[in-house]
Each structure stands twice: as C-alpha cells, then as structure tokens.
Structure 1
Amino acid sequence: MTPVVRAEGLTKYYGKRLGLEDLTLEIKPGEIFGYLGPNGAGKTTTIRLLLDVIRPTRGTITVLGADSRDARVRGRIGYLPGELALESRDRARDYLAFLARVRGGVSAGRIGELADRLDADLSVQMRRLSKGNKQKIGLIQAFMHEPELVILDEPTTGLDPLVQQEVMAMLREVRTSGRTVLMSSHVLAEVQEVSDRVGIVRAGRLVAVENVAALRERAVRRIELHFDAPVPREAFENLPGVRELRVEGASVRCTIDGRPDALIKAAARFTVVHLVSAEPDLEEIFLTYYSEEERRHAVQEPA
C-alpha cells in the first residue's frame, strides 16, 4: 500500500539555523497521524515542506504518491495553517464560495452543513471575526472539498470545548471514509483522543514514532489524594513510579511516571474522599522521554 506521505532524509536549514534534520517518515492511508512537539520544534516546517510552500535543503518528499512539487496534488489536500490571516472586507460566505469555485465546485449545502456543525456565522466580514471564528472558517475551507489528505496545524486554537469536540468528530469521519489526517499540535489530550500513531519532534529531529498507548505509558501525571483522616508517609514511600511525594496530614501529592496502579492500591487501604489527576503536560512527557533517551545513550557510550 502506497504511503500517503513519505519523507526520506528531509532536511531544511534557514541560513545557518536548523529547521528540520534528516526526517524519515511514512503516514499510512486511512490513519490519523498526530505530530507532536513544542513551539519551534519543526512541526510547521515539516508541513510547509509537504505542501511545497518551502523547498528542502536536501531529502525527498512524496504526497499522495506524487512529488510534492506537482501542482495537481494540491487540490487533493485540505490545509489549515497555524496562523490564519483573514483580514479582508469580504464576508466569510463569499470567501468560501470563491474557494469552492477554485477547487472545482463545492455545493453551498456542503459549506452550510459545516458552518452549522461549527456554529460559524458566514455573514460577517472576515476582518471582524474573532480568532475563534476565523479558526472555524479555516476549518470549513480545509474540510469542505472532502480532500484525500487533511493537514491541520493546531486545529483547535481559540475554539470552545463543544466546537473542539465537533472537530474531533469530523476527524474521525475522515478516517472512517478511508482518508488521512496529519494533525500537528502541542495539546496532548486532543492528539490522544483521535490519533492512531504519533510522531514526536524535538529541536528539528524526529525522536520517536509510537502508537498512542505507548505514548501514554511515558506520561507524567500529577496526583492529589485527600483522605478522611491523616495517613502515614511510609504507606506511599518507594512505590513504583511515584516521585516528588508530599504527605501532609490527610493529603498526599505526588507525580506518577506511567501507570498509577501501585499508588491506587496503596490509597485503597484508606478512605479516599477526593482525588485529582492532572493530565500530563506535553513538555513533561517530552522531558521524561528525552531523559530516558539520554540515559540509554549514556549506557551505550563507552566511558
């Protein structure tokens, strides 16, 4: 099966500054591929190379079985940029109608359906739209022609939670239809919710490609437990994965690497009245992952 995206040795320098180095990656048909990394890691550079907005310093790219420079490929892609500039006096409806004609014809009904799902007002001049409403227009234009490949750079920026969930539903529908999504984000929760696999990029280098379950195994969570009476510190000391332990009377605070099974079993010996589990911050997952990589390399390297 031909990959939807194939990059081999993809490298981009901006003068002397590294943007991306030696990226080798395949994205399969019918999957949602999450592309994770903090700001400046190389996510947007990768997307711009795939779209032929910029050219690589070296390396090769194929998209939908063709060279990324082939203009015919672009009509088969839906793209939402991370920074969406919609500042014209045109109303959103007219802007989308223009794009529909450029793309060979998209029905007004299809545009209206997406606008209803995202609660987007198409009668407003685009320059008067809020950041969240501009994002909705960007999403409509990315999805409306039912492209074979949807590329989204930070798709839920500025959206309220209900609309975010609708976007996740739209992504699942793309996958169900056999089409493909590349979603770049620094928000772990939304990537975990819909992605089949994730690539982790750091400082311009792809450091891992994993399924979502494997990524969650590396997660660092902050846990806070409250009991109906004071608990002994020794009941929670030396538990697998438990770090930064603080026991203060009837409360226990700590961080957990990976599975919380040992902590939950220890807490079950007492009466728990309240529990808070903070979802891991993406930076924390990266730090955990990178520290493991650095330890591995340190062991492998000769003294």
Structure 2
Amino acid sequence: MSIIEINGITKDYGNRKGIFNLLFAVEKGEVFGYLGPNGAGKTTTIRHLLGFLTPDTGSAKILGMDCRKDSAEIMKHLGYLPAEIAFFDGMKGMDFLKFMGEMRGLANTSYRDALIEKFQLDTKGTIRKMSKGMKQKLGIICAFMHDPQVLILDEPTSGLDPLMQNIFAGLILEEKAKGKTILMSSHSFEEIEKTCDRIGIIRAGELVTTEDIHVLKTKRRKSYLITFDSPATASAFAKTDSFDNITLDGASAKVDVLGSVTRLMEALSGFTVIDFDTQKNSLEEVFMQYYGSTITEENATKQGGVR
C-alpha cells in the first residue's frame, strides 16, 4: 500500500531549475531515502508533499489525501523536520516543546520525554543560546514526539555529532519496526545506507533511478587505504594486477573495489599489512560511478538554485 505518492509532478522555475515529471511512491512501513546533491530538487519535492507549493502539473498524495487540498488533515498524521528550522529563539527548549505539543493536542508526553533523554537534550536553556546540534535535536523531537504515522525528514542529521547520528539512525530503525512510513532527504550516501530500504536519486530536478539499497550496495565502488611494511611490499602488491585501480604512495596503496571485499582480502593474505582503512566516497563520486562525470558539472551549475 502506497502511503506517499508523487504522480508526475513538475515545477519549472526556468533556467533548468525545478523538478520535472517526478514519479515515485513510498510504501507502508518503508524507509525511503531521497538522495541528491544540493540544488537537485529534494526540498522542492518535500514542499509539494507538505502542500506549500502548487505543481505546474501532476499531484502528490499522503495517506490517499491530496497534499494541496487536504494539507490540514494530513498534518494530523505527519511528522516533519525541515532542513532549516525556524524557532522562537527567546523561548526555552521545554517551553517550545510544550507549545508545539499543545498545537498538536498532545496529551501523553511520555514519548517526548523519552526522546529528550535519548538525545540528551538540555531543555532548560534558551533556544538562541543553543548550538546547531542542540537545535537539530529539538527539531527531531518535535517531529517524532506525537508518534505520527508518516515522517518527512529533510537533512535530519545536519549539525549532529557522530554519536548523535548513530542514535538518530537507531531511532529510524525503531520507528520502521513500528510500521511507520518515512521519507528522508539527504546528500549523504552513508546516512541513507544505514537506515533505508530503498532510495531515489534525483539529479537536476529529474529522478534518475529508484533502487533497493541492498542492490545499490553491491554496485558501489569503495576505496581502501592499505599500509604495508615497506614501499617494496606495496609495489609488489600493485604488480599482482588483481584490481583495476591501485595508486601507490610510498608504503601505502589506495585500492578501489566494486562490490565484495573478499577478493582484496585474499590478495592481501600474502603480504605484511600494517594498517587497513576504508575511505568514504563523496556523493559526487558515488554518482559518477553510476551516471558519469556530467553529474558534477550539473551540480556546479545548480549552486545557489532551488534545493
């Protein structure tokens, strides 16, 4: 059963900016990652789902209701975390949570309090004095505290430290286990990879592909930095010709591997390895693996455009 539906939406701002004929759905109980560089159209898509924008063509639905006409009713069942959160800066954290809870008719605050503890949020301080990370925690709690059926999260871990990012990923998996439907926008492949069942990749306002995350993992090329006991050993390893792309730097070698790392482990068994580390590819590098170098060029032209 489709909970979120995007049916051929186009919003053309001119000069190749906007979103164009988007068509995808998110099923009940699914965590869907919406992935793309800044300026690709992720936030514009989300604004249509929230009923903030009227499309030139096409439509969007949540829980079978039209996102533009029935936005007030949809909001009763929706949790939303914007990429740029607007707060009443003069309020204290707890006062803001109480205010938002009253707006939603929140009677039972036990889940809100559990989230405050989970994210170690100090609710006594004034919002204007909070760090970016603390404000992000506050926004996350506001989105989740009324236990909504559907969650739409735009760049949810922005400003969070690695520990809080892991806690957030755990929260997403807990919500998924409850049967919640979640659309999560990000420009971080690693963030999406931890939590999502399926992803959609948007480029220059167009949906390039939707894929099962497990299928995508098998296609992803990863880089490994290996330090040997000497430059001679690194050079000898490079001469094995087992891999397409090996870059040497003294006693170290950078190796690119597509899919399983088993073959690399087997090749290394005959050499003395001092250190072994995984290098994360940037989003642009991941895109280039699938769709060619034009993605970087398009991203450069989009900077300062719609998100």
Instruction: Give TM-score scaled by structure 1 length.
Output: 0.89
User: Are 1:242 and 2:241 an aligned pair?
Assistant: no
Tell me the residue number matched to 1:155. 156
Partner of 2:265: 264
1:171 paired with 2:175, answer no
Q: Can you list the C-alpha shifts for 1:65-119, whole angstroms capped at 9, x where unaligned?
A: 1111202011111000001122431112122112111112243333222111111
Distance 2:64 2:104 in 1: 20
- C-alpha distance in structure 2 between counterparts of 1:140 and 1:105, whole Å: 13
In structure 1, the residue matched to 2:305 is: none
CA positional deviation for 1:238: 7.8
Tell me: CA distance 1:16–1:252, structure 2 relative to 1, closer, same or farther (3 Å).
Answer: closer
Residue 68 of structure 2 corresponds to residue 66 of structure 1: no
Cα 1:237–1:213 change in 2 (3 A) is farther
1:105 aligns to what SS in structure 2? coil
Name the CA distance, whole Å, in 2 between partners of 1:4 and 1:186: 23
Query: What CA distance in whole angstroms lies between the structure 2 residues aligned with 1:239 and 1:106?
Result: 65
Q: Distance in 2 between matches of 1:39 and 1:157?
A: 13
Query: 2-side partners of 1:241 and 1:183: how far apart?
Result: 35
State the one-letter code of the partner of 2:97: L
Q: Percent identity?
A: 39
Q: For structure 1, which runs of at least 5 residues remain unmatched after alignment?
A: 295-303
State the 4+ residue runs in structure 1 displaced beyond 6 angstroms: none
Q: Which moved more, 1:129-138 or 1:276-285?
A: 276-285
Name the SS of the counterpart of 2:233 in structure 1. coil
* In structure 1, C-alpha distance between the alignment counterparts of 2:278 and 2:261, rounded to whole Å: 10
CA distance in 2, matches of 1:270, 1:16: 55
What's the CA shift for 1:249? 5.2
Question: Are the aligned partners of 2:234 and 2:252 in contact in 1 as well (CA < 8 Å)?
Answer: no
Query: CA shift at 1:167, angstroms?
Result: 1.2
1:153–1:234 Cα change, 3 Å: same
Letter in 2 for 1:259: S
Q: Report if the CA contact (8 A) 2:36-2:202 is conserved.
A: yes
Who is 1:56 aligned against? 55
Give the aligned partner of residue 273 of structure 1.
274
Secondary structure at the aligned position of 2:34 is classed as strand
> SS of 1:61's equivalent?
strand
Conserved? CA contact 1:241–1:259, under 8 Å: no
| Alpha-carbon shift at residue 237 of structure 1 (Å) | 5.0
Structure 1 position 256, deviation (Å): 2.8
- Check whether the contact 1:241–1:257 (CA below 8 A) recurs between aligned residues: no
TM-aligned CA deviation for residue 264 of structure 1? 2.8
Change (3 A) 1:146 1:236: same
* Structure 2 CA distance for partners of 1:16 and 1:227, relative to 1, 3 Å: closer
What TM-score do you get using the length of structure 2 for normalisation? 0.88
**For residue 156 of structure 1, what is the amino acid of its counterpart?**
T
Give distance in 2, aligned partners of 1:92 and 1:246. Answer: 50
Q: Contact (CA 8 Å) 2:112, 2:146: kept in 1 or not?
A: no
Which structure has more RCO (C-alpha within 8 Å, separation ≥ 6)? 2
